[in-house]
Amino acid sequence: MPLTIWNQSAKRNNMSEHTEQAAVVEYIQRKYPNALFWSTPNGAMMGGGRLGALRMNSLKREGLLPGVSDLTIFEPRGKYSAMFLEMKRTKGGVASDNQMWFLREVEKRGAFGVIAYGYDEAVNAVDMYLSGKAK
């Protein structure tokens, strides 16, 4: 079933990373209802100033790791143990050094890591991975 959010292609080019990721989550839920996956909200707004710094330090003490991918699909496929998906805006999205480091590290450990620029790349990567065709 197609997602109504993608019916107007003119709007799609201006979607925020949040909106595109939410649409990818909805896609996974509909197409792969038994898949075990979750979001890691590393980029969540902490607030500014002293309060934001206190929140960030508290989360780091609890194990927050900068660069962790946006979505984790914990479904072994082929030679991979899991998929780590980093979402970026279709236009202008740039992966940070921490995000690149994290993806290299998960690949060293037998997982499939990918950066997707927008909804279309993300669902293509998810379909490729969950069909066992990821290389």
CATH T-level fold of 4-130 = Trna Endonuclease; Chain: A, domain 1 (3.40.1350)
Residue 97: predicted pLDDT = 96
pLDDT of residue 6: 38
Q: List the chain pLDDT tens, one digit each, 135 residues.
A: 333 333 334 345 668 888 999 999 999 999 999 999 999 987 665 667 788 788 878 888 988 898 999 999 999 999 999 999 999 998 889 999 999 999 999 999 999 999 999 999 999 999 999 999 998
* Alpha carbon distance 45, 119 (integer Å): 22
Q: What is the pLDDT of residue 121?
A: 96
Q: What is the pTM of this model?
A: 0.84
Spatial neighbors of 75 by CB under 8 A, at least 6 apart, are 35, 36, 37, 82, 83, 130
pLDDT of residue 7: 35
Q: Contact, 118 vs 88, CB < 8 A?
A: yes
